Structure 1
Amino acid sequence: MNISIMNKLGKLFSLLFEKINHQIFLIRNSNLRKSDQIFTHLTTQEKRKLFELASKVEQGSYAVEIGSYLGASSCFIAAGLRDSSKLICIDTWENDAMSEGKRSTEREFDENTRTFRSKIIKVKGYSKEVVEEVYNITHTIDLLFIDGDHSYEGCKTDWDLYSPFLKSGGCVIFHDFGWAEGVKKVVEEDVKPKLKYFDSLPNMFWGYIK
């Protein structure tokens, strides 16, 4: 058997294994079956990782998501959080950073996240403009998911403004780490030096604050 065929078979088995793994996850977390159908740029592996990282957050804590789009990531984070914890979702819901162009997505977000409404606090606006509003909700957070403006300036602003909220041992996650050079630059220069542990998937990075 030549190397090309072996590589193709390897990829096929990997895809099959991932599909089976995700279906097992959905059987165990049936409240996410509908959420799994929401359009998103997340892979199935990334969805499960968000759930896993959120499940490690302490009872009664807060998580913050910058860039919620249609709510897929919000659902997987909220599902992972314990019942008394809350997820603050920050977005304009005007599709500002999406390639499909500007349109209102707030109604879709509300519908898609209905199952987890009791855990979600919406903060509408640009992340750099709503810091005080978030501060009025909580002074500290245990998890920060940055998936908003992928430019270097935008990503660094989000990190600079919201990382002070993170507790020691808190978790920070960046999406599109694999292709967005601005995100990668912020992670390498500003984020990694402040972490005691970090790991990644091809397009997602996470770590824990010292």
Structure 2
Amino acid sequence: MGLKTFLGIKKYQWKKSVKKFITKVKKGFPQYPWDDFLRITEYFRGRELSSLPERAFLFRLSHDLPSDAKVVEIGSWIGASSCLLASGLKGIRAKMYAIDNFKGNASDCSARIRYRERMSKLKTDTTKVIFDKNITYFNLENRIVAIVNDSLQAAKSFCEPLHSIDLVFIDGDHSEEATKNDIALWLPFVKSGGVVVFHDFTSNHGVPQAVWWAIKQSYFSELMGIYGSTIAFKVS
């Protein structure tokens, strides 16, 4: 079997599994625009680390927000989750802030090595150009605002007032200290009753410890769901 044939079979199998997943999820959640989800999922095939249930959960959380909602994403990479979040939003004034240094900088040494390897495969030292290309492909330039900075500096100069953000998705530096800092920095921007989402909650990084710390601080009022390594809470 040639390489092209093998890749063709893999692509066919993947598309088949995605369509099967969407057929199933439509029965449970018929109110969502799953055609938009399918387009984005197919486009980012093989370039996104999260599972289909995780992506669908993120998409549903975004779509459930009020019209003209505002979303902040910490850690955007090439824009896969950015596109899912932004496409789920409703209203012409809805806004999505994608915060990333786009260079794979991380406090953890092993994480830095992994990012360097991924950068090497992409043949670039920044993913911003790829991010912009992906955002443009889905005509989301007017909805997504990229902030090229780390989380700390972005929070210091953020343009939106406190208690104005409907959802924050934390998927940046995965060390315990950095994740705690992200929580402390960005939680004040979230509305009461808003949503905070974490990726890699089940990883061997510092995310689980940081989330348990936040729970002990009574920062959250309700667990909204867990899908794979993605966990979401309603803010007190």
Asked if residue 180 in structure 1 is aligned to residue 207 in structure 2, the reply is no
For residues 5-20 of structure 1, the aligned pairs below 5 Å read 20=20
Q: 1:68 to 1:194 in 2, by over 3 A?
A: same
Partner-residue secondary structure (3-state), 1:154: helix
Which structure 2 segments of 5+ residues have no match? 1-15, 27-31, 120-124
Which segments of 5 or more consecutive residues in structure 1 lack a partner in the other structure? 1-15
Show the 5 A alignment for 1:115-194: 115=138, 116-134=140-158, 136-139=159-162, 140-191=164-215, 193-194=218-219
CA distance in 2 between partners of 1:28 and 1:141 (Å): 23
Q: What SS does the aligned partner of 2:141 have?
A: helix
Structure 1 runs (4+) deviating above 4 angstroms are: 16-19, 23-28
Q: Which residue of 2 aligns with 1:197?
A: 222
CA RMSD of aligned residues (A): 2.3
1:35, distance to aligned residue in structure 2 (A): 2.5
Q: Is 1:109 aligned to 2:109, yes or no? A: no
Superposed CA offset, 1:129-148 (max 9, x none):
111332x2343201000000
Question: Identity across aligned pairs (percent)?
Answer: 29
1:131–1:162: 8 Å Cα contact kept in structure 2?
Answer: yes
Which letter does structure 2 place at the counterpart of 1:111? K
Structure 1 length as normaliser, TM-score? 0.83
- Cross-structure match for 2:8: none
In the other structure, the counterpart of 1:89 is 98
Q: Give me the whole-angstrom Cα distance separating, in 2, the residues matched to 1:107 and 1:34.
A: 21
What whole-Å deviation, never above 9, does each CA across 1:45-70 have from its counterpart, x for those lacking one? 11111110011111222110000001
Listed as ranges, the matches of 1:63-102 within 5 Å are: 63-83=71-91, 84-97=93-106, 99-101=114-116, 102=119
What letter matches 1:137 in structure 2?
A: E
User: Contact (CA 8 Å) 1:62, 1:138: kept in 2 or not?
Assistant: no
Residue 157 of structure 2 aligns with an amino acid whose one-letter code is E
| Map of 1:30 onto structure 2 | 35
State the distance in 2 between where 1:159 and 1:41 align: 22
Aligned AA (2:127):
T
Quick check: 1:150–1:180 contact (8 Å CA) kept in 2? no
- Separation of aligned partners in 1, 2:19 and 2:212: 32
SS at structure 2 position matched to 1:57: coil
In 1, Cα distance between the equivalents of 2:221 and 2:160? 27
Aligned residue for 1:150, secondary structure, equals: coil
Aligned length: 194
Q: CA deviation at 1:181?
A: 4.1
